[in-house]
Every structure is written in C-alpha cells, then in structure tokens.
C-alpha cells in the first residue's frame, strides 16, 4: 500500500515508456527526491533502430541537467550546420548554430534510447523491460498501473512517456484528438562508410527536391540519410506490405531529376541498413495533459513532426520541467504548473514544423515560389538570434516552482 506524503507531494512514480522522455523523467525525478521505476514494452535490442535523429542544442542543455548529455554528444556526429538546397542544386540558405550553445548532434533514434536507458540504469533507476502498460486505476491516493502480463505497480503518480500512440493518453482524454498525418512518409537509415557521398564536415544537407525531400550527412565513417515522400492517402497496411526493392525504386523515381547525391547514396542502401517507412505525424494540441495522478510528457502529450528536429529535445525538456514541478508542489498543482510552463513553447514549435511540412509537399508552382522566397526567409529569419527562442532555451533547475 502506498503511504501518502502529508504535504501532498509525490514520493514515488511509475513511468510508462523507456524511449526518450521516460529515462530522462526518471533521472530528473530521482534528482528531485522521487523514486521512479520505468516500464518499457520492448526488451533491449528489439525496438526500432530508427533513422538519423538530430538532438538540438536545447535538448542537450536539458539533458545536461541530469548528466545525460555527454554520452550522446560523444556518440553522435557533431552537426553545427544545416544547408538547404533546391532540387536544381542551388543553395537556398544555411543555418549555423550559435557557438556558445552545445553543438547539435545526429545519431540513430535507437542508439539514443539505448544510451539514455544505460545512463538511467547506471544512476540506479530500475527499468523493467518487456512490460506493456494496459490500464490504470487512480484511487485518489495513488495510481495502480496494470500490465499485459497481469502484474501491477503502484505509486503516487503515473507519468505517461509512451510516445505518439500513447495508451496512457486514452486514460486522460479518451475522446481527445488523435495524431495528425502530415501527408508525408519518412524513410532512412545509417550506412557504414561514406556511402557514395563526401564527408559533409558537420553539415546536414537538406534538399527540397522536385518531388520529395532528401537529407544526408556523413563523417566519412557513418552516413545518415532520410527521405520524405508525399503520400496523400495513408494506408498503413500497404506501407508495411511494400518491399524494400519497391521503396528504393520509388525513391529513385522521386529523386531522378534532382541535383542531389540521393541516387548515389541509394546505391549503398541495403535491406539491413534500411529503416522501413513511417508516417510523419504530429499532435498539435491535446486539451488535457493530466488527470488526477496521471500526466503525460513527450510525444504522448505534444508530438512535433520530425521536420521540427525538436521532438526528442522537447521530450527531454518536458521530462525535467515536470520533475521540477513535482519537486516543489503537491501533485495537482505540480501538473498545472508543468502544463503552464510547457504548453506555449511546444505548440509554437509544432506549428512551425507544420509550415515546413507544407513546403516539403509543395506542388510545382508552390515549389517555384518557395525556391524564390526561401533565400530571403532563411537569411532574415534563420539566424542564431532569430532561432535562439528554440535553441538557447535553458531550464533553471535550481529555481523553485510556485
């Protein structure tokens, strides 16, 4: 039986999901004096490897609060620059990251998760693998989580970090909005070696191609790439049933007329290094992030589409802010404060990414306008000063939440 803390503050937490938000939340809760156990549906090594993921300076700053930044920074490819090209090969602009901020890094989503899980376990956080959350009962004094193997776990609070298709979310708002499909699917992977392209010297090259969007970076030893293809009507079964050869053929056709290294790189993609397609989705506005003793963080509450390059970073930020609120306030007020701190920022970033998605799926006329206007927009609005609200965001862990 769970003993209620007289102050109404949480002392124990069940964390559902061991992706990004879960391990970071558990580390931050531990730092706040709250004992957390993470329950992850997949066993180690059985989840998706995932394609290249960029961790933004603000994400690394957040991870620094719990000492989880260094492993990721050492493992990933430093990526201080993004260079944007048109399908005709013209450079439309570049985004340089401010040198005083942590340098953005790129690594696979699977590797990032492994490193965060290892960091949490090294700090003494228990992670129970192969345990899928199915239901929760909020008794008013505690929450009891139920898992697919009929076991249960009880704690003062339950934190849902179970991603964009969250099961925990359905307990907070069963009729709430579902993830929104952006009209694009994402494919990609990491290849050992240069894969037909040159070392990009810390730059992630992005091409607004004539029919689809292509990105790649290489440090000569590893090459990460992704493609976003417009697919109007999403049929998940058809996505799953389509073979590797068919995808490479479709990508070849999509990139055939672009002045980009896509076709050269595709020659090096093998079934083993290929991450099958996933629909790009977001969750722009979830009306309720918590109910009773249950709260959501990361993609479960506020999924930014991959075009933001911010989903993992926002998940880490929210994990730390929620722990800070639970450290200083009784549970109900902590959940309100957390939402008040986070909602405006995450929804602004999700909206900005939605605009980028429209540019990626532009028709021929809109694409011509985009290519003409973008150099001006990038020079004017994508400077370190103009993007500081995203990248220079830092959490003041020592400041009390009231």
Q: Which residues bind ligand FAD (CB under 6 A)?
A: 16-22, 39-42, 47, 51, 53-54, 109, 132-133, 161-163, 167, 186, 278, 298-300, 306, 309-313, 315
Nearest approach in angstroms of CB 330 to ligand FAD is 25
Between 304 and 362, name the residue whose CB sits nearer to ligand FAD.
304
CA dist 51 and 107 (Å) reads: 8
CB of 315 to ligand FAD, least distance (A): 4
CB of 388 to ligand FAD, least distance (A): 18
Nearer CB in complex with ligand FAD: 56/371? 56
Strand order in the sheet with 143-147: 133-138, 143-147, 152-155
Among candidate residues 109, 53, 37, 82, the one with its CA nearest the CA of residue 203: 82
Pick the closer one to ligand FAD by CB: 161 or 378.
161
Determine contact, residues 188/51, Cβ cutoff 8 Å.
Answer: yes
C-alpha to C-alpha distances, 102 to 121, 122, 390, nearest whole angstrom:
25, 24, 13
Name the β-bridge partners of 91: 85
- Closer residue to ligand FAD, CB minimum distance, 183 or 186: 186
Helices (H), 123-230: 169-172
Tell me the sheet residues that pair with 225: 189, 216
Torsion angle defined by CA atoms of residues 371, 376, 377 and 383, in that order, rounded to the nearest 10 degrees: 130
Name the minimum Å distance from CB 169 to ligand FAD.
10
Q: Which residue, 16 or 395, is less far from ligand FAD as judged by CB?
A: 16
156 vs 299 by CB, closer to ligand FAD: 299
Closest distance of CB 194 from ligand FAD, Å: 21
| Whole-number Å distance between alpha carbons of 159 and 331 | 12
| Phi and psi torsions of 374, nearest 5° | -60, -40
**8 Å CB contact between 48 and 35:** no
Q: How far is the CB of 47 from ligand FAD (least distance, A)?
A: 6
For the chain, the residue count is 402
Closest separation in Å from C-beta 85 to ligand FAD: 18
For ligand FAD, the closer CB: 291 or 380: 291
């Amino acid at each position: 039986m769970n003993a209620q803390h007289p102050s109404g503050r949480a002392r124990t937490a069940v964390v559902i999901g061991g992706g990004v938000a879960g391990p970071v939340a558990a580390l931050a809760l531990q730092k706040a004096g709250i004992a957390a156990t993470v329950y992850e549906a997949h066993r180690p090594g059985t989840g998706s490897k995932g394609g290249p993921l960029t961790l933004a300076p603000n994400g690394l700053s957040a991870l620094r609060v719990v000492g989880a930044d260094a492993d990721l920074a050492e493992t990933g490819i430093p990526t201080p620059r993004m260079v944007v090209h048109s399908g005709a090969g013209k450079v439309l602009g570049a985004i340089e990251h401010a040198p005083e901020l942590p340098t953005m890094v790129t690594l696979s989503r699977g590797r990032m998760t492994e490193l965060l899980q290892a960091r949490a376990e090294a700090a003494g956080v228990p992670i129970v693998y192969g345990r899928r959350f199915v239901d929760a009962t909020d008794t008013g004094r505690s929450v009891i989580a139920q898992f697919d193997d009929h076991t249960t776990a009880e704690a003062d609070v339950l934190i849902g970090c179970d991603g964009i298709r969250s099961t925990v979310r359905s307990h907070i708002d069963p009729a709430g909005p579902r993830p929104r499909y952006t009209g694009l699917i994402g494919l990609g992977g990491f290849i050992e070696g240069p894969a037909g392209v040159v070392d990009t010297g810390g730059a992630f090259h992005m091409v607004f191609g004539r029919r689809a969007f292509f990105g790649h970076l290489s440090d000569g030893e590893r090459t990460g790439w992704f493609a976003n293809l417009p697919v109007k009507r999403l049929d998940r079964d058809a996505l799953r049933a389509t073979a590797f050869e068919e995808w490479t053929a479709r990508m070849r056709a999509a990139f055939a007329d672009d002045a980009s290294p896509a076709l050269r790189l595709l020659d090096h993609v093998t079934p083993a290094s290929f991450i099958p397609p996933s629909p790009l989705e977001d969750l722009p506005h979830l009306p309720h992030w918590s109910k009773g003793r249950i709260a959501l963080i990361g993609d479960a509450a506020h999924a930014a589409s991959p075009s933001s390059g911010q989903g993992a970073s926002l998940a880490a930020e929210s994990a730390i802010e929620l722990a800070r609120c639970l450290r200083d306030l009784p549970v109900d007020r902590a959940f309100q404060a957390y939402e008040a701190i986070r909602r405006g920022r995450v929804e602004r970033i999700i909206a900005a990414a939605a605009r980028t998605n429209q540019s990626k799926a532009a028709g021929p006329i809109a694409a011509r306008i985009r290519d003409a206007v973008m150099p001006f927009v990038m020079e004017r609005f994508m400077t370190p000063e103009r993007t500081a609200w995203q990248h220079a965001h830092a959490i003041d862990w020592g400041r009390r939440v009231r």
